A and B are shown apart, each in its own frame.
Chain A
Amino acid sequence: MSEPILRVAGLFGRIGGQQVVEDVSFDVPATGVTALLGRNGVGKTSTIKSILGLIDRSGGMHLGGTRIDRMPTHRIVQLGVGYVPEDREVFGSLTVAENLRLAERDAAPRREFIQRLFPDIHDRRAQRAGTLSGGQQQMVSLARALVNENRLLLVDEPTKGLAPRIVDEVAEALAEAARTVPILLVEQNLHVIRRLAERVVVLSGGRVVFTGEASDLLDDEDRIQRFLGVHDATDPHDTAAGSTR
């Protein structure tokens, strides 16, 4: 296997003095989608934020050979990292166009690509992002990351709150993006994971409990149950209610 694009070794992260990421180590290969999985509150988001230096962190991290654990966030991003945050975090008082303009790092941003991918938000260029619907905000957030050429994408729950059809489209877009850029993806929707992920890293209580090929986890009911707490994941369209007693 070639050099990983991101190498995380012994990462610790703190929020307000509290340890939320503990000694996490994993690699993100230079191609394809690596999924970061785990139940609510295990520290997935915190891991991504630690990588970007958005929370207090320590440990060894290399992005394509460059050491980044001491770098300020903006420098890391300038190395070619795209980030889609968990709670969308669009700038509510700025218009959609301004949100996108702010995100443009490259000399030749891929505006047409974005327009093709999300025609709806293109039509709403002049609207203040704060007044967008939840799903529309999610699209802006994704678009901000996809508008540049990146060496790595960090994507945190991109399908949260999206209509099923849009979920498909986003998955499609990520799949397309993954052809040229490696992605570290946090996702709850197993359907999406199945479709995209090649490798998985599972967190529990702030630690890594499983790493391996996606199929190693997803084809093994037992592991799914153990690591993700889900009973019946083979058919994501079965009613959730039906699977509980």
Chain B
Amino acid sequence: MSGLDGRWTRRWIEAVAAEVARRKLELTALDRAIGDADHGENLDRGFQAVLGRLEALDDDATPGAVLKLVATTLISTVGGAAGPLYGTAFLKGSMAAGDRAELDAAGLVEVLTAARDGIVARGKAEPGDKTMVDAWTPAVDAAAAAGDDVRAALEAAAAAAAEGAAATEPLVAHKGRASYLGERAIGHRDPGSESTSLMLRAAAETR
């Protein structure tokens, strides 16, 4: 495969849905420690709805069309902060993808950058605020630095997101529900950074 086409995008989203379902309790447990114990359920509700709607999509839908369907579905089904945040990310990503049939490494970086910028515009979090931005930002930077190979870019993004998620553990939260906890958030991983890492890991492993 040269670039990432619509079918790849669909396989990726199916893999995300499967992983979210598999790790739902784990994500919710992270959110129980420093939030309201619903992040896994929220995302699972959203991605199960995505699976249902994907079936209605044309087999040859573009990456942008798949991402847009994911966006609108998450926005209207997730029910927590992750809904508007990931919804905006996928929406901005779909706009960056436009009607290209395939994304090469440069296109992927454009999409990831737009997604991250959408999350930041929506949630106003900065790096270090202990949110999903702490996984997205290193992922975008690593993909951009990975060169022309789209698979290398995906792998770099996934690895950087995983590190970014782990690096939220020592932080105090300045956005989201965990900000109520002050110093007591220290030692806990941000659930949204972990779900971001999950999504990008699934992308790196989707063929």
Do A and B assemble together? no
B residues in contact (CB < 8 Å) with A:
none
